[in-house]
Amino acid sequence: MAANKFHRVLFLCLILFLISNCAYPISRQLREEANKNLTFPTVLEDPTKYVGSIVIWGGKIIQTVNLKDGTEIMVLQIPLGARERPSDEEYSQGRFIAKSSQYLDPEIYKKGRRITVAGKIIGKERKPLGEIEYIYPLIEIKELHLWIRERVYYGWPYWDYYPWGYWGNYPFGWGYWGYPGWYYFDERDFD
């Protein structure tokens, strides 16, 4: 009887875990309001045409600046992949500025972090970019998701196999020599 209850609780926990891992970072209401047919390159041509439209964009933070009336985050746009996460590939169609009326700490929202922004297009702004003037679409942030940074390890620790038996007194089993394998890491953003 107790084992039966344990299995039911375990099954329920597993279902809840699977459901929570499939969650989107942006609320359902904003996802439904967002104009899915409105692409970033289309808005980039003339942002003032689409003022008031709700969009969900993502990318990599270039700069975070605190102003008297809130915070501006300059973002290098990267197409969204699964679960509205900016993809890992380094492909961009331009830049945009996400504005918040709240204070956002530049140490948390720092250069290189990936974000997903849901917001309303409120216009455009000209700013210098090198020797040119770039037109940035402006978005008023409704929801913002900062992706968590983790270290990703490539390669694997391995043990060389020698079929003729032990080469030394190592406790790794028959035929294993204790040379650690190679690996390197990179920091990526995950949820």
Ordered by start, the domain boundaries in the chain are 22-146, 152-190
pLDDT at position 82: 80
CA angle 36, 37, 40 (to 5 degrees): 90
> What is the rounded CA–CA span in Å between residue 5 and residue 64?
51
Cα–Cα distance for residue pair 12/43, rounded to 1 Å = 44
| Angular region, 14: left φ>0, alpha ψ -120 to 50, beta rest | alpha
pLDDT in tens, the chain (191 residues): 566 666 676 666 566 555 544 578 888 999 999 988 899 999 999 999 999 999 999 999 999 999 999 999 999 999 988 888 888 777 899 999 999 999 999 999 999 999 999 999 999 999 999 999 999 999 999 999 999 876 555 554 444 444 444 444 444 444 444 444 444 455 555 54
pLDDT of residue 85: 85
Assigned token pair, 115: 């974000």
pLDDT of residue 102: 93
For the question of whether the overall pTM of this predicted structure is more than 0.85, the answer is: no
CATH architecture for residues 22-146 = Beta Barrel (2.40)
| Sign of the dihedral defined by the CA atoms of residues 80, 73, 127, 52, in that order | positive
What spatial distance separates the first Cα and last Cα of the chain, rounded to whole Å?
38
Q: What is the DSSP string of 177-189?
A: E-----EEEEEEE
According to DSSP, the β-strands at 70-77 and 95-100 are: antiparallel
Residue-level pLDDT at 183: 45
Residue 182's pLDDT is 44
